[in-house]
């Protein structure tokens, strides 16, 4: 959720933090703020809205230490008062927070009974007041912050900048925090993408760990008992950090178009690399594939591929519902976790639950050095590059491509290389000319349905998952109510929703008589029928062409892209920001 970024070094800290926050904007764009330590005084800069929209023309305050935050609101309205960072009453320190203090109401009541008052509606302010109360009993700021943190329940990470010794203190539990080290400078952030253009030297904090930086010296301590820990710097191999829109009006469109290269990269993995995971899946009685939000729909598609191509007993389960599958989880089984950020709170909890049951853990993520990678026995990356738009587009297809390669390896790990020819074939089919026609065609269709209140999407077998992904994309980007159904449900109740003029999308494969019959039934009820298919049919009111039917991967992945483009165009036509859907954030690090 929220993004944290602090800097201490020889450069202008305010400028560095502002640029770092822009890279973290995907974590929240309700408001943003920077606390600047200048001449031993703390200055706050706070604004409502997205920091990515801000072009700074005036000189930013010159400072060596600064703390920044970009907010996704959980407690308290979106306004300047509730925005972070928060300043102590004496102005000696400022604090920013990512997470939810689950027991904040009780803490607030206790502090109020002691005579403390509150200025905001946030759960974060109780942390600030706890530290202030603790400082009345000790002049050791680390101990005051540590004791305050031990009172908190839930997944929380805090960062504090203190006037004394240009000090930065950070404490992690659940929500991510890591440190980057450059030449005479340090970066403290929610992810390494925010400082990737400065350094690849990182310190990855574990849960319940405290960092204490003072004038160039960095210490690491256990929150529980304050014992000093070893500072272990690792090199993180950052992906391409280019985050420009490259002339596109939105990141969403740019990232959709990048799939011509991101899908082949995701498929560029050898069966030799997959053999440890293939062995684990083959040993397991069951393979569970999990994710949260959009990642679950990709996970469910991966499970479909593992069943129908890999021949294993595989099931997709929502990360936040894993406890309901408790009786099915057995020691020796395998859980594959899917997450773009590698920090999804619900997925991390699902992993912890599965590990306690004795399952092995694999993951496919897009970000190196993240919590999920460190919890996993088998780690794989989808290499799709930074994805800035909140919606999963190229990361979703990259995840599914990985699943297809894994399923192929399970089927026959001696046929190494066949899957690469399929990804190359797909890339050839999705050439620039075809993509340009697809962009234009989906815009024409979007104009005809943009004023509708409902959209229904029907798919069958492999395209049931495609329909679910498409409906999610449309809902997220455009706020148009879109709902996906298995085509087989049509005559069992869903057909009652069909009335004259309501738009219905059907996915029709090559010579797919089953789906053509479904299309005829919907057409007979007067629906506005949109066929996403390899060839046109007289039943369709509108036709969106898929690439030439080829081998498995082409059919599975390429059908997702038209709905991504429809979602994009519908967002624009309905006056929505496709990159920043309301109420959403890219990385969900709270429950």
Nearest residue to 220 (alpha-carbon basis) of 263, 291, 274, 169? 169
Indicate if 2 belongs to the active site. Answer: yes
- Alpha-carbon distance of 339 to 395, in angstroms, equals 9
- Alpha-carbon distance of 274 to 415, in angstroms, equals 13
- Alpha-carbon distance of 298 to 308, in angstroms, equals 15
Q: Please, are residues 533 and 545 in contact by the beta-carbon 8 Å criterion?
A: yes
Neighbours of 125 (CB within 10 A): 26
Distance of CA 220 to the CA centre of its chain: 28
Q: Which of 46, 181, 318, 586 is catalytic?
A: 586
Burial per residue of 208-232, b for 16 or more beta-carbon CB atoms within 10 angstroms, e otherwise: ebbbbbbeeebebbebeeeeeeeee
- Alpha-carbon distance of 443 to 460, in angstroms, equals 25
Q: Which of 2, 363, 389, 576 is catalytic?
A: 2
Q: Are strands 503-508 and 481-486 parallel, antiparallel or unpaired?
A: unpaired
Q: C-alpha distances in angstroms, 52 versus 23, 108, 289, 361, 580? A: 8, 34, 35, 36, 11
Sequence-separated (6 or more) residues with CB below 8 Å from residue 516 = 508, 537, 539
Neighbours of 449 (CB within 10 A): 23
Q: How far apart are the first and last CA of the chain?
A: 10
Cα angle vertex 245, ends 241, 247, to 5°?
Answer: 140
Indicate if 327 belongs to the active site. Answer: no
- Alpha-carbon distance of 517 to 491, in angstroms, equals 12
Active site residues: 2, 586
């Amino acid at each position: 959720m929220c993004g944290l970024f602090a800097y201490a070094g020889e450069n202008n800290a305010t400028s560095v933090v502002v640029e770092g926050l822009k890279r973290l904007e995907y974590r929240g764009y309700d408001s943003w703020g920077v606390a600047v330590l200048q001449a031993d005084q703390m200055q706050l800069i706070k604004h409502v809205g997205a920091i990515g929209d801000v072009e700074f023309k005036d000189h930013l305050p010159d400072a060596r230490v600064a703390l920044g935050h970009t907010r996704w609101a959980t407690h308290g309205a979106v306004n300047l008062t509730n925005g972070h960072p928060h300043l102590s009453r004496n102005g000696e320190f400022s604090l920013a927070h990512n997470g939810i203090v689950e027991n904040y109401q009780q803490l607030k009541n206790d502090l109020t009974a002691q005579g403390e008052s509150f200025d905001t509606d946030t759960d974060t302010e109780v942390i600030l007041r706890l530290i202030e109360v603790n400082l009345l009993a000790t002049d050791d700021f680390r101990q005051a912050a540590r004791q305050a943190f031990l009172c908190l329940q839930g997944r929380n990470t805090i960062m504090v900048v203190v006037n004394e010794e240009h000090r930065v203190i950070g404490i992690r539990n659940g929500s991510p925090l890591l440190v980057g080290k450059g030449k005479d400078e340090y970066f403290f952030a929610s992810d390494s993408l925010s400082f990737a253009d400065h350094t690849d030297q990182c310190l990855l904090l574990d849960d319940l760990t405290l960092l204490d930086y003072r004038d160039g010296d960095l210490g690491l301590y256990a929150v529980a008992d304050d014992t000093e820990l070893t500072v272990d710097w690792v090199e993180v191999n950052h992906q391409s950090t280019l985050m420009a829109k490259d002339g596109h009006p939105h990141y969403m469109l740019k990232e959709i178009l990048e799939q011509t290269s991101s899908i082949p990269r995701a498929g560029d993995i050898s069966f030799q690399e997959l053999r440890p995971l293939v062995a684990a899946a083959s040993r397991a009685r069951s393979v569970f594939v999990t994710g949260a939000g959009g990642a679950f729909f990709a996970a469910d598609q991966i499970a479909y591929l593992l069943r129908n191509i890999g021949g294993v007993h595989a099931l997709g389960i929502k990360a936040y519902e894993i406890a309901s599958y408790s009786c099915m989880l057995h020691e020796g089984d395998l859980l594959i976790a899917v997450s773009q950020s590698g920090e999804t709170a619900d997925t991390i909890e699902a992993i912890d639950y599965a590990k306690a049951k004795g399952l092995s853990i694999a993951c496919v993520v897009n970000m190196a050095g993240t919590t999920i990678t460190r919890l996993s026995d088998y780690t794989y990356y989808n290499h799709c590059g930074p994805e800035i738009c909140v919606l999963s587009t190229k990361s979703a297809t990259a995840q599914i491509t990985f699943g297809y390669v894994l399923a192929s390896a399970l089927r026959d790990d001696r046929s190494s290389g066949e899957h690469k020819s399929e990804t190359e074939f797909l890339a050839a089919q999705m050439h620039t000319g075809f993509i340009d026609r697809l962009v234009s065609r989906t815009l024409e269709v979007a104009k005809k349905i943009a004023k509708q209140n409902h959209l229904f999407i029907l798919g069958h077998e492999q395209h049931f998952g495609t329909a679910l992904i498409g409906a999610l994309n449309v809902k997220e980007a455009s706020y148009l109510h879109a709902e996906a159904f298995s085509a087989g449900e049509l005559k069992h109740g869903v057909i009652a929703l069909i009335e004259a003029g309501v738009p219905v999308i059907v996915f029709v494969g090559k010579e797919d008589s089953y789906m053509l019959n479904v299309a005829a039934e919907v057409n007979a009820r007067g629906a506005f029928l949109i066929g996403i298919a390899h060839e046109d049919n007289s039943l369709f009111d509108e036709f969106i062409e898929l690439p030439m039917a080829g081998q498995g991967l082409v059919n599975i992945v390429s059908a997702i892209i038209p709905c991504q483009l429809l979602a994009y165009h519908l967002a624009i036509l309905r006056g929505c920001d496709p990159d920043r859907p309301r109420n959403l954030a890219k990385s969900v690090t709270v429950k």
